[in-house]
């Protein structure tokens, strides 16, 4: 039977992606590159192109900019890369001539649906565009009505201009696609996603042709070493004697913050670090944090989002007031009733009212649309994935559903609600799990296919309740950063459980001795604090080569005076 089905293979195909948030970034080599969008179960390939530097409009495109293994451009007229430093697109047309681009596929595809994300060129208003596949007897037209850049990470098939009937309804395949501006008007094209029909039964050749095309994309990615977008992780000292988390991440052109420090008055310390222009090119030059992640509702992770009252127009100096925020991703569950949490919500609402999008990690995991995605493309071979944690949608009382031997007794803390995030650059991986403890770590291993990890932010500040064997045996960390005020009694009743705890050290030691900590406290003096390694900065360049720098020193934990005084050297470190 030649029963032809449109499978949920959908959204596959060809996505011409010009990163809107400067996410997709133009390859510095100037040639197009293919990347897979692992945002969903769909197999996606995409083509990025152009060489426009931020803040310019350039006519530097050539056909070779569009070349990829399974898609080439055969003609191109009056097309320019458009960039306003925030959004990127290909601008079609001039004020007096239409613009056209024709894409040629390596195989013929039965295209059932197409989504085009485009927006108006300022001043030219709505414009008709012509959409022609080789299977169509006449072109389809659609109208570009959006006046601002659409969200290219939105995988909803029904957003943007949607074309159907591209195969004339009879399964005719197309070998090419031409997009034109109909009138002599300009418009900005951001992304095209084609839905391809997959045949079953004896007509399965189409399906295999499709999948082989996309697996070849994948192999291109892994062979693409030397052209990764760089990523830098900054574990920031928070300026006081308290333990807390704050990591500022520069990923391609994206500025990302995970948690915001331990007390309200940390905000100014964090902002001074983040805004410091002396770290060339590595600060929030446009005042925008593209992504902000709040892992869980504890004070030591969210206080700095609210900050303290100041004389600014916003009236507060917290992260959510100080920066323009693109997307906020936070914890789906909490039982927290503290003022700090209430104030966090107030600050988050302020950011949303200023235009930030807000999603829970569960909405992202479910690819909830409108920008809620499991995977965000941050640059060339550079992604941020929201991992699944059982406690996104279960309470501690339901822990037995995770493992029948788990009991809810003694397990009522917020920590296991933490959002977990995996960054990937080429074949390097970096894991952030907030204050996840044993159960959340177990969940992470159970529900996600975790790779080995090149940089692991020690869960829960190096607590004895975290960095369990269940997690470590899978991720086998090569470098561990502990965000804590080492050795003081804030969260410990005995000195071996001060951060980082002897038990966690013992479990980490077989995998690496490269453990670094931000701040040093004193067991008997709850106000003492001094830099340990200080701000820990770990960078991975375009070839994924790592560079570690610290504001105080790069002494490994095992060689520190504190360790020698208060910890027993594990055999693996002897």
Which residues would be at the binding site for Zn ion (CB under 5 A)?
A: 298, 300, 415, 435
Burial of 368 (0-12, 13-18, 19+ CB in 10 A): middle
Q: How far is the CB of 418 from Zn ion (least distance, A)?
A: 7
Dihedral pair phi/psi, residue 521, rounded to 5°: -110, -170
Q: How far is the CB of 296 from Zn ion (least distance, A)?
A: 6
Contacts of 207 (CB under 8 A, 6+ apart): 7, 9, 198, 199, 200
Q: How far is the CB of 462 from Zn ion (least distance, A)?
A: 11
Closest-CA residue to 81 (of 103, 50, 53, 102): 50
CB nearer to Zn ion: pick between 24 and 421: 421
Q: How far is the CB of 450 from Zn ion (least distance, A)?
A: 21
CB nearer to Zn ion: pick between 300 and 330: 300
CB nearer to Zn ion: pick between 282 and 300: 300
Cα three-residue angle 455-443-365, rounded to 5 degrees: 80
| Residues 103/14, Cβ–Cβ less than 8 Å | yes
State yes or no: cis peptide before 500, omega within 30 of 0: yes
Q: How does DSSP classify residue 549? A: E
Distance CA 460, CA 471 (A): 13
Distance CA 418, CA 245 (A): 12
CB nearer to Zn ion: pick between 46 and 466: 466
CB nearer to Zn ion: pick between 197 and 458: 458
Q: How far is the CB of 406 from Zn ion (least distance, A)?
A: 19
Q: How does DSSP classify residue 569? A: P
- Helix/strand number for the chain, H first, E second: 10, 32
Distance CA 305, CA 352 (A): 13
Residue 160, CA atoms < 13 Å, CB-side half-sphere: 29
Q: How far is the CB of 436 from Zn ion (least distance, A)?
A: 9
Q: How far is the CB of 530 from Zn ion (least distance, A)?
A: 20
Contacts of 1 (CB under 8 A, 6+ apart): 201, 202
CB nearer to Zn ion: pick between 119 and 464: 464
Tokens 């029963």 belong to residue: 3
Q: How far is the CB of 414 from Zn ion (least distance, A)?
A: 6
Q: How far is the CB of 437 from Zn ion (least distance, A)?
A: 9
CB nearer to Zn ion: pick between 142 and 433: 433
CB nearer to Zn ion: pick between 326 and 433: 433
CB nearer to Zn ion: pick between 232 and 463: 463
Q: How does DSSP classify residue 372? A: B
Q: How far is the CB of 346 from Zn ion (least distance, A)?
A: 20
Rounded to the nearest angstrom, the gap between the alpha carbon of residue 462 and the centroid of all alpha carbons in its chain is 24
Tokens for 271, please give them: 């902002």
CB nearer to Zn ion: pick between 48 and 243: 243
Distance CA 446, CA 433 (A): 15
- Cβ density class 15-50: b for 16+ within 10 Å, e for less: bbbbbbbbbbbbbeeebbbbbbbbbbebbbbbbbbb
Burial of 543 (0-12, 13-18, 19+ CB in 10 A): exposed
Q: How far is the CB of 521 from Zn ion (least distance, A)?
A: 15
Dihedral pair phi/psi, residue 323, rounded to 5°: -115, 155
Distance CA 219, CA 475 (A): 23
Tokens for 387, please give them: 């991992």
CB nearer to Zn ion: pick between 83 and 418: 418
Residue 508, CA atoms < 13 Å, CB-side half-sphere: 32
Q: How far is the CB of 417 from Zn ion (least distance, A)?
A: 9
CB nearer to Zn ion: pick between 286 and 490: 490
């Amino acid at each position: 039977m030649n029963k032809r089905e449109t499978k949920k293979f959908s959204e596959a195909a060809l996505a011409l992606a010009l990163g809107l948030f400067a996410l997709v970034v133009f390859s510095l080599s100037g040639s197009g590159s293919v990347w897979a969008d692992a945002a969903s179960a769909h197999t996606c390939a995409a083509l990025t192109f152009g060489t426009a530097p931020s803040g310019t409009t350039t006519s530097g495109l050539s056909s070779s900019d569009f070349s990829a293994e399974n898609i080439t451009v055969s003609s191109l007229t009056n097309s320019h890369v458009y960039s306003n430093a925030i959004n990127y697109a290909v601008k079609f047309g001039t004020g007096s001539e239409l613009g056209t681009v024709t894409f040629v596929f390596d195989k013929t595809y039965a295209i059932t649906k197409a989504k085009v994300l485009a927006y108006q060129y300022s001043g030219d208003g709505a414009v008709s565009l012509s959409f022609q596949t080789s299977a169509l007897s006449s072109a389809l037209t659609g109208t570009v009505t959006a006046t601002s850049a659409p969200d290219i990470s939105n995988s909803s098939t029904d957003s943007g201009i949607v074309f159907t009937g591209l195969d004339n309804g009879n399964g005719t395949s197309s070998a090419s696609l031409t997009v034109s501006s109909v009138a002599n008007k300009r418009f900005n094209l951001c992304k095209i996603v084609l839905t391809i029909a997959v045949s079953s039964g004896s007509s399965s050749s189409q399906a295999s042709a499709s999948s082989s095309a996309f697996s070849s994309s994948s192999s291109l990615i892994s062979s693409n070493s030397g052209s990764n977008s760089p990523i830098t992780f900054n574990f920031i000292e928070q300026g006081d004697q308290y333990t807390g988390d704050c990591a500022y991440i520069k990923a391609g052109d994206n500025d990302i913050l995970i948690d915001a420090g331990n007390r309200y008055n940390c905000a100014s310390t964090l902002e001074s670090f983040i805004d410091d222009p002396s770290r060339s090119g590595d600060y929030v030059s446009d005042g925008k944090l593209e992504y902000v992640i709040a892992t869980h509702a504890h004070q030591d992770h969210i206080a700095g989002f609210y900050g303290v009252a100041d004389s600014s127009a916003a009236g507060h100096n917290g992260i959510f007031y100080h920066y323009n925020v693109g997307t906020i991703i936070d914890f789906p569950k909490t039982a927290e009733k503290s003022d700090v949490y209430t104030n966090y919500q107030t600050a988050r609402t302020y950011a949303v009212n200023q235009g930030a999008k807000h999603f829970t990690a569960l909405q992202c995991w479910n690819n909830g649309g409108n920008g809620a995605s499991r995977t965000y493309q941050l640059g060339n071979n550079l992604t941020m994935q929201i991992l699944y944690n059982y406690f996104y949608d279960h309470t501690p009382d339901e822990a037995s559903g995770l493992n029948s031997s788990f009991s809810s007794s003694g397990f009522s803390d917020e920590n296991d609600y933490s959002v977990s995030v995996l960054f990937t650059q080429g074949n390097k991986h970096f894991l952030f799990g907030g204050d996840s403890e044993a159960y959340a770590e177990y969940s992470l291993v159970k529900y996600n296919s975790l790779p080995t990890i090149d940089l692991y932010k020690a869960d829960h500040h190096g607590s004895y309740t975290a960095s369990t064997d269940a997690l470590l045996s899978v991720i086998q960390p090569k470098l561990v950063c502990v965000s804590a005020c080492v050795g003081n009694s804030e969260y410990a009743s005995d000195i071996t459980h001060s951060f980082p705890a002897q038990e966690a050290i013992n479990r980490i030691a077989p995998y690496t001795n490269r453990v670094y900590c931000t701040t040093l406290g004193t067991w008997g003096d709850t106000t003492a604090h001094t830099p340990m390694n200080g701000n820990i900065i770990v960078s991975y360049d375009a070839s994924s080569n790592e560079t570690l720098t610290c504001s105080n020193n790069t002494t490994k934990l095992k060689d520190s005076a504190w360790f020698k005084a208060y910890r027993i050297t594990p055999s693996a470190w002897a």
